[in-house]
Chains A and B, each alone.
Chain A
Amino acid sequence: MPSAADPVYVVEDVSYTYLDRFPALTDVSLRVARSEKLALLGANGCGKSTLLKILDGLLVPDRGTVMAFGEAVTEDALEDEQFNHGFRSRIGFIFQNSDAQVFSPTVREEIAFGPLNLGMPTEQIVERVDDTLTMLDIADLADRAPYQLSGGEKKRVAIASVLAMNPEVLLFDEPTAALDPRTQQWLIELIVELNAAGKTIVLATHDLETIDVLADRCLVFGEDHRIAGEGTPHEILADRDLMLSVNLIHERTHLHHPHPPR
């Protein structure tokens, strides 16, 4: 039986190269503890999204190992029905591009897609769809088609479609990107609430304004696709040299420093 102290992920020396030519990750190692909020920070193109896709088993690293819940995540393992079912039901991935994630003809069908593929009974699916619609305040969108939704609404639907599966780990790729301030605030509060409910959160971002609320710990990626630093949001934001060296901030960027944790 896994205990609460067991890490959710153990990643060792993972490297990934697109088309055998463009490196996206080089020798990356990390551990993700249960119920923590981990932020992957870095400039555009440093490999954050690739790492999230590797954590979700969508990409297979060229080198290195990924262990999730104590089991090795490999192409072979993911072909195993039981492993695949368990892995998919425990990990949810919210893509940066909601248009890619909201692919069903209606919102209701979109939210039902995950539970259906996990083989849940129909009554339970109907109940979950209704509950998630209410939770994310999108009940009035249930029968709408994706082309009738705004960017913020699509993001809510994408999140609802993952939450309906009730995963233990939530991977967010640039969650607050391209959202208006109101929706951003709503999403930040939702992520904090989900974490308080016991969900492990891993998010890729370069939004430094919200990082102190969204993360307990940060990993900073350099433009050489390696991990350049690690620490609490307070430590990372205070380390101006590190932020400058990974091109995450400009010399004239003013950072809002969070209060140190008591």
Chain B
Amino acid sequence: MSATPDWMLHAEPSLCPCGCIGRRTTTSFVDKTITGASRVMRQALFTDDIAAKPGLLQRLDPRVKVVSVLGLVIAVAMVRNIPVLVGLYALSVVIAIASRIPAWYFAKRVWLFVPIFTGIVVLPATLSFITPGEIVVPLGTWFGHPVGVTSQGLRSAGLIILRVATSISFVVLVALTTTWTRLLAALRAMLLPRMFILVLGMAYRYVFQLLDSVTEMYEARKARTVRADADVRSGRAFVSATAGTIFGRAHSMSEEVHQAMVSRGYTGQARTMSAFRVRTTDVTWIAVCAMVIVIAIGIDRALGR
């Protein structure tokens, strides 16, 4: 072994003694990335836990779930009355509770994004410019014409927001009560191209692998960071270097994965095993959903516009 350099034989004299002086450094992007990565892992484990609970939807065949939700979403799109939509939304909440999904979590998944994204899109539709009608909130005049939020506009906006929220609720129900692998298998059984599903499944599996690599690299940087990362330029250089390294690792990993596949007889054709069985519960569920759809559309048509 080569000789140990002299400077390594003594402790660094310039290092501060241990003890707090009260000055804090703000959390850097390194910490945020590490926390973000572990949040993704926690989230994945949490949804897997929900999918493993003995609830109503968890007992159903994933194909049945996908088909029934598709039917319900189409029904939601056809309904033109707010009370009927409220009823369908209430149904989704009941199913969520029966499937042991925490109510706050279910509501948060839907209502955190719907008002932001759909709300912004439909906001102009509430104004008398777009939807003329009875002005309930006057906002002034424009060339002598009164301008404001109309009741017809509010109704249309409410209808769209509720439609989106209800549709998302039904989709979230399937996503939360079905593990990703079973969902993929269900989609495969429903005639989606096998290759597409194979690639999607492998992408999901290796996202976690890359997440591990990123966390390791950021932890290694954190371990060697004494001051706060005030230097934006070096921070940027680190992020781009990380991205480059990850790209390189992904490339070599993909090569090895392909070799591992070829080694076990893969010749470019995706073959999969589906082990689904449709049981009485599934048939009953489909019948109930079909009935709900017919009744909802029936009431909607009876109420008129």
- Could you tell me which A residues sit within 8 Å of B by CB distance? 53, 56, 58, 81, 84-85, 88-89, 91-93, 95, 97, 99-101, 103-106, 109, 112-114, 116-119, 122, 125-126, 143, 145-148, 161-162, 165
Contact = CB atoms under 8 A, between A and B. Distances in A.
A117 B271 contact: yes
11 contacts: A91-B263, A92-B263, A100-B260, A104-B201, A109-B273, A145-B48, A145-B205, A146-B208, A147-B41, A147-B208, A165-B265
B205 A97 contact: no
B260 A114 contact: no
Contacts of B269: 117
A160 to B, nearest CB: 12
A147 B264 contact: no
A125 B267 contact: no
A116 B257 contact: no
Contacts, number: 92
A84 B204 CA distance: 29
B260 A95 contact: yes
Give the top 6 A-B pairs by smallest Cβ distance, nearest first. A117-B265, A147-B208, A100-B256, A114-B264, A105-B181, A88-B265
Nearest to B184: A105
Interface in B169-223: 179-181, 184, 201-202, 204-206, 208-209
Given A84-B267, A88-B265, A93-B263, A105 B272 contact: no
Given A109-B273, A122-B273, A165 B264 contact: yes
Contacts of B262: 58, 88
Contacts of A119: 271
B139 interface: no
Given A99-B253, A100-B253, A100-B256, A109 B272 contact: yes
Contact of A53 (B45, B259, B264, B275): B259
B266 interface: yes
A161 B180 CA distance: 21
Interface string B272-285: 11010000000000
B261 interface: yes
A238 B184 CA distance: 56
Given A89-B265, A100-B259, 20 more contacts: A53-B259, A58-B259, A84-B267, A88-B262, A88-B264, A95-B260, A100-B253, A101-B257, A103-B202, A106-B181, A109-B181, A109-B272, A112-B273, A113-B266, A114-B264, A118-B265, A126-B273, A143-B179, A147-B44, A165-B265
Contact of A88 (B41, B179, B263): B263
Interface in B23-46: 41, 44-45
Given A95-B256, A116-B273, A125-B273, A105 B180 contact: yes
Interface string B3-29: 000000000000000000000000000
A124 to B, nearest CB: 11
Contacts of A162: 264
Given A95-B256, A145-B181, A105 B265 contact: no
Contact of A146 (B45, B205, B261): B205
B205 A104 contact: yes
A104 B180 CA distance: 12
A103 B201 CA distance: 9
B209 A147 contact: yes
A147 B40 CA distance: 12
B205 A117 contact: no
Contacts of A89: 265
Contacts of A147: 41, 44, 205, 208-209
A235 to B, nearest CB: 30
A95 B256 CA distance: 9
Instruction: Specify which of A85, A99, A105, A162 lies most central, judged by the most chain B CB atoms within 10 Å of its CB.
Output: A105
A116 B208 contact: no
A162 B264 CA distance: 7
Contacts of A91: 263
Contact of B266 (A97, A117, A126): A117
A99 B209 contact: yes
A56 B205 contact: no
Contacts of B202: 103-105
A119 B266 CA distance: 11
A181 B248 CA distance: 32
Contact of B272 (A84, A100, A116): A116
Interface string B68-84: 00000000000000000
Contacts of B184: 105
Contacts of B253: 99-100
Contacts of A125: 273
A100 B253 CA distance: 6
A198 B43 CA distance: 46
Given A109-B272, A116-B271, A117-B271, A103 B265 contact: no
